[in-house]
Structure 1
Amino acid sequence: MKLLPLSSLAAALLLGAAGSAVAAPPPLKPCRVEGVPNELQCGSVRRALDPARPDGPQIDVHYLVVPAMARNKRPDAVLFLAGGPGQSAIDIAPKVLQRLNRLGNRRDLVFIDQRGTGKSAPLECPDERKLPVADQLDPAAQMQRLLACRDALQKLPYGDLRFFTTSLAMQDLEAVREQLGVPQWNLIGASYGTRAALEYLRQFPSKVRRTVIDGIAPPDMALPATMSADAQAALDGLFEAHAKTRPQLRAQWQALLASLPRSVTVAHPVSGKPERFTLDRRLLMSAVRGPLYAPALAAALPEAIDLAVAQNRFEGLLGLAGGLGSGKGMKLATGMHFSVICAEDMPRLDAAADRPGADFGADTQQMYREVCKTWPRGTVPEAFYDVPPAPSPVLVLSGGADPVTPPRHGESVTARLAAQDKSRVQHVVVPEAGHGVTALPCMKDVVFRFIDAKQDAEALPQDAACATRTPRPLDFKLPTP
């Protein structure tokens, strides 16, 4: 899901961590992580790639522990589950720690690189950012690179791509919990990490004390189908929000779409050298999708559209496409991403009720279909797609302007979690937030109060008015010369 997308597994794997032997717990070792000034602790647990073959290929699942600051710490550590699918939890830790600093006073904070990501048997494809823009955007060339990457990954010692599913990965996390001696986790999952959290909660309900899921990616959502519909709703919402200040915006947008394909010249994002290529509808929609994740970036889209139509200047639109960042922690392990999506989402795609958005169309869906035709698929138990009633308090967070995991997915999951006890679940919708509500400044206090409450009855409901009243960022306009 930036989310984006992810995961899978076999019926025999429901045995959980007992399905493969866990080596004797090694001592944690002092380590350093770029972006964190103080010394931390690192460890790993050895796991069978295929739990049905405990003597077969092995992988090391690596994790980072940020020790509690207080000497008298609480035993229930906080586990952060990264998004993607394909994001490294350890790489993103420096960006997340500032949101968890209050929790980190009396609780250890744990970041585990899910199998296929970061240091844990990574399934990464070559970085394409230095390629010419035309090559980066050419769909045929992209497909060739993906398939070549698939072939290269399959030659790795751990290259059986069927065994990088969400269900298997959550069994790895349970092995880490046992190794660390943590009686119960407090889970915080973002984007795809919400699907991971729900699966861990399904498999190991007694090992979870509290759960925060932000930007819900349900296990049964069929991401390649929902992506277009949800992105279209976010784009339409942007146009509506700017209808008074820019009454011509929708007409400009339609004029821009009607002008495609067209030849454009932009500076390469890395080299800065001007490059000329053909901009078509698929490339334009890809450029627009990224900024919609973050309202602060989306606020500049109307001005970028105006510049493209009125002055034939596309630097703004294509520059915003990379505005979410490409630094450490933002890169996805592409192989892990497709191993999850192809196994978990694609089997449900044909039955999905979501129809492609009018502007976004079915291009992304077709890309996933093409890749997943030959991508090895893991087995997913039918129970994976269920969301059982919550065994403990769950705080569900959704951004009203989120283009990939909007509130409708949070509502669906909330209804199932609250089926037996509505007091255990609260769904907070922040109308003007994008993809990621916990990033809002005041939400770290809401999350802290939820997790730190001594009794379950005190954990919910939480007052999140500080976030729900957040306004949409103002329309960005370049100063008049």
Structure 2
Amino acid sequence: MRDWRGRLLALLMVAGLGGPAWAAPTDGLLKPCRIDGIPNELKCGSLRRPLDPARPDGVAIDIGFLVVPAMARNKQPDAVLLLAGGPGQSAIKVASRVLPRLSRLNNRRDLVFVDQRGTGRSAPLECPDDSKLPLTEQLDGDAQMRRLDECRAKLEALPYGRDGGLRFFTTTIAMQDMEAVRQALGVPQWNLIGASYGTRAALEYLRQFPGQVRRTVIDGVAPPDMVLPASFSPDTQAALDKLFAAHAATHPQLRAEWEKLLASTPRTVTVAQPLTGVPERFTVDRELLLRAVRPPLYQPALAAALPAAIHAAAAEGRFEGLFGLSTAFGSAPGLRLAMGMHFSVMCAEDVPRLATSTDAPGADYGRVDAELYSRACRKWPRGEVPADFYKIPPAPSPVLVLSGGADPATPPRHGERVAQALAVGHPGRVRHLVVPESGHGVMAVGCVRDLLFRFIDAPTEAEALPESLLKDAACATRIPRPPAFQPVQGGTAP
């Protein structure tokens, strides 16, 4: 998931399904198209949908989607649906990043990327990109809220934003769009693949349309009952503490340096803006420091540079490393979130439940995220969420749950709770794989890609998942944490 400032990447992606080739004619629905980053010609389409499901004759929006046709002529009819993360990520924009991981599946199955309403080609709710603004403007809390108010006002002026239109971008309504696309394409069943927020979307689709799902893969589970602003605090704290413990042998003073750094705030520093290179002088407060450290934790390869960056800031007053790492993850244009859609989801589904959350705040992170989202959602139009949305019924078909042990946003504790709920009555249908040293999202790790293929490609009648399925992923579970980055020390030339 992602922090609304655009510093967090609410990761990935999506879903896949299988079924015999298209069962209904799609002439006129799909047209040839080109997508950035993908060399071959694909198929694109759109479907007209009511903004408010209760008013089918009211305002309508277009739901855009991309179909990557199966390579083989004798293809399977169950397509793979990829549900993007965020909330707020465009599935079509991340397609080029996801396709290499699903190439084996694409041999005999169509891959379908649907831009969820509020993103990409589906009535987008986008706010201006502030990543190139001066850091002083990016990081000033009051200025951020002013920009958010301005963005909301512009979105409410759109045809689909007027008269409380922002209330109709919830996960529940969006999954009804996904079902409409399935029917329009004539896909008998989806194979769902969702990561990060996409796992919540997959679980909601599974709840509403259990008979239309053949297989489900959820990677980095963000369940509907998670209360994200509250869980961010203990989960990020746990990932940070794990980083300190992992590097205790090579950096024994790391935790002490971190505490010293926190205690030194607020302080004035000069740092080059990571994207423009322009030096800027601004004040680093405690909240800013906490947010700067979070994004690298999503990816162990980036987190490996945190010990050196924390040391440079604490011992030498150099903050370039910390702020450079904070923008290194998720800065690509295709990974940007539609922040209007992000808040339409979060303000409806998570923030109203903050008062009842049982997550204890992390020692360092406290209530930073809860307070930020509460403030942002005060004026945001809030959609209705059915009570059953927060329930996870037993899985009607096989589910593969994936978790990264070093994930600061959706660690294994959430995946385990969901796996237990899904397995009620049919424990053999659900398997939970934890990759101990992986971060946010494990589908790209080594043999997990092959595991995913074998899971979805298994015969439809195979209801029970063999234990050997997870044993085959041992190559992923044995991957060690990357060693701490050691800066190159300059020397005297001989």
Q: Which of 475, 481, 487 is residue 466 of structure 1 equivalent to?
A: 475
1:377 positional shift: 0.6
Matches within 5 A, 1:107-256: 107-159=109-161, 160-256=165-261
Matched position secondary structure for 1:322: helix
Does structure 1 retain, via aligned residues, the 8 Å contact 2:195–2:219? yes
Indicate the larger mover: 354-363 or 189-198: 354-363
C-alpha distance after superposition, 1:173-218 (max 9, x if no partner) = 0000001000000000000000000000000001000000000001
1:459 positional shift: 4.5
Does structure 2 retain, via aligned residues, the 8 Å contact 1:453–1:459? no
Q: Are residue 422 (structure 1) and residue 422 (structure 2) matched?
A: no
Q: Which of 284, 288, 295 is residue 290 of structure 1 equivalent to?
A: 295
Matched position secondary structure for 1:256: helix
1:439 positional shift: 1.6
Q: Specify the alignment match of 2:20 in structure 1.
A: none
Q: In structure 2, do the counterparts of structure 1 residues 345 and 4 end up closer, same or farther at CA, with 3 Å as the change threshold?
A: farther
Does structure 2 retain, via aligned residues, the 8 Å contact 1:80–1:89? yes
Residues in 2 aligned to 1:246 and 1:339: alpha-carbon distance in whole angstroms: 42
In structure 2, stretches of 5+ residues that fail to align are: 3-7, 12-25
Residues in 2 aligned to 1:414 and 1:300: alpha-carbon distance in whole angstroms: 33
Residues in 2 aligned to 1:102 and 1:458: alpha-carbon distance in whole angstroms: 23
Matched position secondary structure for 1:186: strand
Q: Which of 68, 73, 76 is residue 74 of structure 1 equivalent to?
A: 76
Does structure 1 retain, via aligned residues, the 8 Å contact 2:9–2:335? no
Residues in 2 aligned to 1:368 and 1:417: alpha-carbon distance in whole angstroms: 30
1:460 positional shift: 3.9
1:271 positional shift: 2.0
Indicate the larger mover: 458-467 or 327-336: 458-467
Identity over the aligned pairs, expressed in percent?
A: 67
Matched position secondary structure for 1:38: strand
Residues in 2 aligned to 1:27 and 1:55: alpha-carbon distance in whole angstroms: 21
Residues in 2 aligned to 1:189 and 1:379: alpha-carbon distance in whole angstroms: 23
Q: Are residue 364 (structure 1) and residue 373 (structure 2) matched?
A: no
1:458 positional shift: 6.4
1:5 positional shift: 7.1
Q: Specify the alignment match of 1:434 in structure 2.
A: 439
Aligned-partner residue type, residue 283 of structure 2: T
Q: Specify the alignment match of 2:16 in structure 1.
A: none
Does structure 2 retain, via aligned residues, the 8 Å contact 1:450–1:460? no
If the length of structure 2 is used for normalisation, what is the TM-score?
0.92
Residues in 2 aligned to 1:143 and 1:362: alpha-carbon distance in whole angstroms: 18
Matched position secondary structure for 1:307: helix
Indicate the larger mover: 456-465 or 325-334: 456-465
In structure 1, stretches of 5+ residues that fail to align are: 7-23
Q: Which of 389, 396, 404 is residue 394 of structure 2 equivalent to?
A: 389
Q: Specify the alignment match of 1:104 in structure 2.
A: 106
Residues in 1 aligned to 2:400 and 2:474: alpha-carbon distance in whole angstroms: 15
Aligned-partner residue type, residue 476 of structure 1: F
Aligned-partner residue type, residue 138 of structure 1: D
Matches within 5 A, 1:260-409: 260-409=265-414
Q: Which of 32, 48, 59 is residue 30 of structure 1 equivalent to?
A: 32
Q: Which of 472, 475, 478 is residue 484 of structure 2 equivalent to?
A: 475
1:367 positional shift: 1.0
Does structure 2 retain, via aligned residues, the 8 Å contact 1:185–1:207? yes
Indicate the larger mover: 358-367 or 76-85: 358-367
If the length of structure 1 is used for normalisation, what is the TM-score?
0.95
Matched position secondary structure for 2:119: coil
Q: Specify the alignment match of 1:21 in structure 2.
A: none
Q: Specify the alignment match of 2:462 in structure 1.
A: 456
